[in-house]
């Protein structure tokens, strides 16, 4: 294959040598694939351009600069740029764009400064647009505001594309007041400008403002396009506002706009993450009504959603009805069985996946090993791990190692888990030591837990390990090691460590109710805690402890 490519390239070179026009050279430059192996070919083309006297052609010079930069050879691009006898604004723009594409943001700022110091060249809206995007990538708020000042001084603020880029810059930097002012002062707004404003507000958590902007767009007589609908609905779903997302899905249908495959997959993934079934059912109905059930992305998202909502029979029905199955669809079903504790079915599907000729991915093996871990099937999990390493040569990640440690630990093989960690070819991460600490607590092994805690403190920031410190403190309390518990609690307090608050939720009717520890925000919290107290009395059959009595007395019933 490589030989055929070289022969083809040489034939193109031969044709180009007989041409007196620069056009064939442009074709050759466009045909290069963006890999380091293409650099020698690019150097040959460059030599031909110089030999045939086309090096002064501005178009070819720009093409060469872009090609060098896209092939991750900014050194050659810069040398060529410095040798140009005359530079125009579009020459700078070609170089800046190429540097942006390879994420050389610091070089973008350097050449922008060079352009500003060049008295024969002035930046245009394309220049400003590229530099503003570099500011967004690095979140340089102050630099971006300076560039905006340059825009105003140069009088380029009337360009719609540049205005939209500036709007996105302020939104992504969290400057909502500036974004509102920018949006209000825009002389023209297209669908992308409205979508950028709505998307930025939703991502910032300003849902009411986003909906207000959307309603303002409709009130102004403009019909929202696919882009605007997509960013609004997916943003609401992503942030847990499922009822609102479904409401606007219905409005969108009344407007005659259809959701695309990608956005539907995103919305279904949001429903799956929170395990809310009713919105997922409505989204599935939309998929059927609009004939989208044949798309693999959508089917995979539906299977994932049903599995995470505990509806494995529905997930399997969709999976079995699908004629074409890619790795994503197989993974969705295998992960679903693993999450619901059906390890045997996960292993069976893995075998069927391999027999069907579909290549398992690292996600596939993570899901199966995790399922084996939860069912205590150590020998099967080891077999899957060896299959991944020996037969499929998949790069082992920290997640795979953490699953293996968790599998040994849950089975009570703490010594085996520790030896596995020590034999790893890479430095164990906090997640790996965390899995080991969790196993130590389950089996009340303080000795191994202390070893793991010391190792974790060496490889992690203290703020990231608070949960594991709390876990150790609880284990000391359970084993009556009060002095050790007091010392660890003092360390947590003096270090001002904070444990991320966990939460749970339940779907009732059209609403999702979210609860966290010590949470009194629910309108029916009094009745809920009263019911919990009664259940606690019924289960234990004894009076409440002083701690429980103190806790429940905090709630006014």
Share of the chain above pLDDT 70, in %: 69
- Is residue 143 predicted with pLDDT exceeding 80? yes
Give the integer Cα–Cα distance in Å for 448 and 406.
14
How do residues 81-104 score in pLDDT, each as one tens digit?
766 667 778 878 878 887 888 788
* pLDDT above 80: residue 20: no
Most confident of 260-269, 381-390, 443-452, 499-508: 381-390
Mean pLDDT of 183-193: 88
Residue with tokens 């299959």: 387
> What is the arithmetic mean of pLDDT over 189-215?
90
Q: What is the pLDDT of residue 327?
A: 92
Q: Identify the burial level of 35 via C-beta atoms within 10 angstroms of its C-beta, where 0-12 means exposed, 13-18 middle and 19 or more buried.
A: exposed
**Per-residue pLDDT, 333:** 95
Looking at residue 544, its pLDDT comes to 46
**Is 50 exceeded by the pLDDT of residue 14?**
no
Position 287 pLDDT exceeds 60: yes
Residue 1 is predicted with a pLDDT of 42
pLDDT tier at 496 (50, 70, 90 boundaries)? low
Q: Which of 442, 444, 443, 433 is nearest to 405 (CA)?
A: 433
Residue written as tokens 């429980």?
A: 548
What is each CA distance from 115 to 11, 121, 129, in whole angstroms? Answer: 39, 7, 14
- Residue 290: the pLDDT is 83
Q: How far apart are CA 275 and CA 506, in angstroms?
A: 9
Q: pLDDT: is 33 or 44 the higher one? A: 44
pLDDT at 134: 92
Residue pLDDT, tens place only, 535-555: 777 665 544 444 445 444 444
3-state secondary structure of 494: helix
Write down the pLDDT at residue 11. 46
Structure confidence at residue 24 as a pLDDT band (50, 70, 90) = low
The rounded mean pLDDT for the chain is 78
At residue 181, the pLDDT reads 92
Q: Is the pLDDT of residue 381 over 90?
A: yes
Number of H helices, E strands in the chain: 31, 2
What are the tens digits of pLDDT across the range 52-80? 555 555 566 666 767 666 666 566 666 66
DSSP code per residue over 203-223 = HTT-HHHHHHHHHHHHHTTPP
Alpha carbon 178 to chain centroid, angstroms: 27
Q: What's the CA gap between 525 and 544, in Å, rounded? A: 19
What share of the chain has pLDDT > 90, as a percent?
A: 26
Instruction: Please state the rounded mean pLDDT for residues 197-218.
Output: 90
The whole-angstrom separation of Cα 86 and Cα 101 is 24
DSSP assignment string, 406-470: HHHHHTT-HHHHHHHHHT-SS---HHHHHHHHHHHHHTT-HHHHHHHHHHHHHHS-GGGSHHHHH
């Amino acid at each position: 294959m490589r030989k055929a490519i070289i022969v083809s390239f040489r034939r193109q070179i031969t044709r180009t040598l007989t041409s007196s026009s620069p056009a064939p050279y442009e074709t050759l430059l466009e045909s290069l694939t963006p890999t380091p192996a293409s650099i020698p070919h690019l150097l040959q083309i460059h030599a031909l351009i110089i030999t045939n006297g086309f090096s002064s052609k501005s178009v070819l010079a720009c093409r060469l600069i872009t090609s060098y930069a896209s092939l991750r050879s900014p050194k050659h691009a810069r040398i060529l740029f410095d040798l140009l006898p005359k530079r125009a604004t579009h020459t700078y723009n070609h170089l800046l764009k190429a540097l942006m594409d390879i994420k050389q943001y610091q070089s973008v700022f350097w050449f922008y400064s060079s352009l500003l110091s060049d008295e024969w060249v002035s930046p245009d809206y394309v220049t400003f647009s590229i530099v503003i995007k570099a500011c967004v990538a690095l979140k340089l708020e102050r630099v971006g505001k300076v560039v905006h000042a340059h825009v105003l001084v140069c009088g380029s603020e009337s360009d719609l594309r540049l205005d939209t880029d500036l709007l996105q810059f302020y939104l992504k930097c969290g400057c909502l007041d500036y974004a509102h002012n920018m949006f209000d002062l825009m002389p023209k707004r297209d669908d992308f400008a409205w979508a950028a404003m709505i998307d930025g507000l939703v991502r910032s958590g300003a849902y009411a403002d986003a909906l207000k902007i959307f309603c303002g767009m409709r009130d102004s007589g403009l019909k929202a396009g696919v882009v605007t609908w997509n960013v609004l609905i997916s943003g609401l779903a992503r942030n847990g506002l499922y009822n609102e997302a479904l409401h606007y899905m219905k409005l969108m249908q009344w407007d005659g706009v259809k959701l695309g495959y990608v956005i539907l997959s995103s919305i279904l993934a949001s429903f799956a993450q929170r395990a809310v079934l009713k919105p997922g059912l409505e989204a599935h109905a939309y998929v059927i009504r609009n004939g989208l059930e044949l798309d693999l992305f959508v089917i995979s998202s539906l299977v994932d959603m049903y599995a995470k909502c505990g509806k494995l029979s529905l997930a399997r029905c969709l999976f079995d009805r699908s004629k074409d199955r890619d790795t994503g669809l197989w993974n969705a079903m295998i992960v679903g069985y693993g999450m619901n504790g059906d390890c045997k079915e996960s292993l069976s599907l893995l075998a069927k996946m391999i027999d069907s000729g579909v290549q398992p991915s690292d996600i596939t093996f993570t899901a199966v090993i995790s399922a084996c871990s939860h069912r205590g099937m150590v020998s099967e999990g080891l077999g899957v791990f060896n299959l991944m390493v020996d037969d499929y040569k998949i790069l082992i990640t920290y997640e795979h190692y953490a699953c293996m440690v968790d599998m040994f630990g849950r089975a009570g093989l703490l010594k085996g888990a520790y030896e596995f960690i020590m034999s790893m070819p890479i430095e164990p991460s906090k997640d790996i030591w965390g899995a080991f600490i969790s196993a130590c607590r389950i089996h009340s092994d303080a000795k191994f837990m202390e070893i793991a805690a010391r190792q974790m403190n060496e490889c992690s920031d203290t703020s990231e390990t608070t949960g594991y410190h709390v876990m150790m403190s609880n284990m000391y309390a359970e084993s009556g090691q009060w002095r050790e518990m007091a010392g660890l609690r003092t360390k947590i307090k003096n270090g001002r460590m904070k444990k991320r608050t966990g939460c749970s939720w339940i779907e009732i009717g059209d609403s999702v109710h979210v609860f966290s520890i010590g949470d009194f925000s629910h309108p029916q919290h009094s009745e809920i805690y009263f019911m919990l107290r009664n259940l606690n009395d019924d289960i234990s059959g004894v009076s409440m402890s002083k701690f429980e009595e103190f806790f429940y007395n905090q709630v006014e019933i």
